[in-house]
Amino acid sequence: MNRSEQSMLGRWSRCGLAAALVASAWLTGCTTRRPIALEPTPSFVFRSLDLSQRADDGNRGWDLTSPEARYDLSSRTIRARRPEGVLYRNNQPHFRITADLATVLRDGELVVLEGSVQLRQLNQRGLTIEGDNLIWTPSQSRMVINQRPKANDGETQIRSRELVFQQDTEVLEFKGPTQLNRVDESSSASTVVKGGNGTWNLKSGLLQAPGPVLAIRSDGRTLSASGLDGNTRQGYLDLQQPVTLVLESDRGRITAGRTRWLFSAEQLQSDQPIQAELKNSKVQGRGFKLDQRTGTVIISNSCRVEQTLETLTAQRCAWNWRSERVVADGDVVLQRTEPEQITRASRMEAKISDDGAIRFGQAGARVESTIKLSPAAQEKPRRPQVSF
């Protein structure tokens, strides 16, 4: 509502009050038998509405326009259809807001938006916050969306029971249960992260969710952690220990400490101890890197593979769970118990058989083996006694 409309409403209000007083006095003078009927407070319908509010320092706060609105004098309430508004930051347009209906209470102290509410950031990212009901307190720079709320920046989408947006700090608080959705850039695979409460700073990209959290990929892989924090603008999330990754088709389970999820590169990496349980073997080491695009896990240091009849140690090792190929590099030592044998090499390869066993050894590879025979095998056979 502009200043001319406000002054007009003021004049109409004073005139209406005077007319009601004159009518009341005239009716009282004519008769005392008939009850006095007071006229209801008038409301005004406008073909267009234009409201503006400024901050205490004189900067523009927000604008709200509507093609049709009604103003009630007694409650100081405006009801508008198809409202559109602009929120300003440093006197520059920062967000555009639209809805089906708007109710402005007490001349702007509280604004309620209903039906297809959308708050869109006016920058290259184009982040949007949506819902069916938004309660806005301009003096507190606070918006609460409590009906089907969601936020989307084009790469990450958050759905929650309730979203609270603090305009002045640009912090979005989500109250669980919460679901975070991401789609891989290089494929049609998607990831759904389920958690509870948390915060997302839209300006810096900082995201925090105490957890626990569970990530489920469309290809069947799952990832769980006690919590997460990270930065969506820089493209990473840090998963809090313990972190557990379950591969698709029951191919194995990986347990690790604090792990960084580089979701733009589709990689997981950590410098913490790692343990992997396969069908018939256990793998452990320190530090790992998992590439989801190639299906490869690389253990960076102190790799150790344990099976029923043999143990392998190496400086590092890699496993591709799609080709079922294992490679060990650097001071490789393979110890077998039957027969008792030690094999050394700078590099050793293996294939994982259908039963889950790792078969080390490659034709033509240079190795050094030591075999220890049992005492019974080392004894010389006695000559048979000769008799004449």
- CA-to-CA dists, residue 168 to 104, 121, 124, 150, 365, angstroms: 21, 14, 20, 20, 66
Q: Is residue 124 part of a domain?
A: yes
What is the DSSP code string of 105-137? EGGGTEEEEEEEEEEEESSSS--EEEEEEEEEE
Whether residue 120 is found in the same domain as residue 88: yes
Considering the domain architecture, whether residues 53 and 141 belong to the same structural domain is answered as: yes
pLDDT in tens, 130-150: 999 999 998 899 999 999 999
- Read off the pTM: 0.72
- Same structural domain, 25 and 69: no
Q: Quick one: 30 and 109 in the same domain? A: no
CA dist., res. 337 & res. 335, Å (int): 7
110 in a domain, yes or no?
yes
**pLDDT, tens only, 311-359:** 999 999 998 888 888 999 999 999 988 778 899 999 999 888 777 778 8
- How many C-beta atoms lie closer than 10 Å to residue 330's C-beta? 14
Which sign, positive or negative, has the C-alpha torsion 376, 377, 379, 382?
positive
Q: Within this chain, do residues 65 and 103 fall inside the same structural domain, yes or no?
A: yes
Please tell me whether residues 49 and 90 are part of one structural domain.
Answer: yes
Same-domain status, 85 and 135: yes
34 occurs within a structural domain: yes
Q: Which of 148, 183, 206 is the last residue of a domain?
A: 148
DSSP collapsed to 3 states, 337-388: ECCEEEEEEEEEEEEECCCCCEEECCCCCCCEEEECCCHHHHCCCCCCCCCC
In a domain, residue 99? The reply is yes
Over residues 27-54, the pLDDT tens digits come to: 233 333 455 454 555 566 767 888 888 8
Judge whether 94 lies within some domain. yes
| CATH number, domain with residue 87 | 2.60.450.10
List the domain range (segments joined by +) for residue 73.
Answer: 45-148
Q: Are residues 14 and 57 in the same domain?
A: no
The answer to whether residue 74 sits within a structural domain is yes
**Cα–Cα distance, 347 to 331 (Å, whole number):** 8
104 shares its domain with 132 = yes
Please indicate, yes or no, if residue 253 is contained in any of the structural domains: no
Same domain, 78 and 138: yes
Residue 108 lies in a domain: yes
Give the number of domains in the chain.
2
Q: Does residue 102 share a domain with residue 12?
A: no
User: pLDDT tens string for the chain (388 positions)?
Assistant: 444 444 333 333 322 322 222 222 222 333 334 554 545 555 667 678 888 888 778 888 889 899 988 888 888 899 999 999 999 988 899 999 999 999 999 878 899 999 999 999 997 777 899 999 999 998 899 999 999 999 988 778 899 999 999 988 999 999 988 998 877 665 566 888 999 999 999 888 899 998 799 999 887 889 999 999 999 888 899 999 999 999 877 778 999 999 999 987 889 999 999 998 887 889 999 999 999 888 899 999 999 999 888 999 999 999 888 888 899 999 999 998 877 889 999 999 988 877 777 888 654 455 555 555 455 544 555 555 544 2
**Are both 60 and 108 inside the same structural domain?**
yes
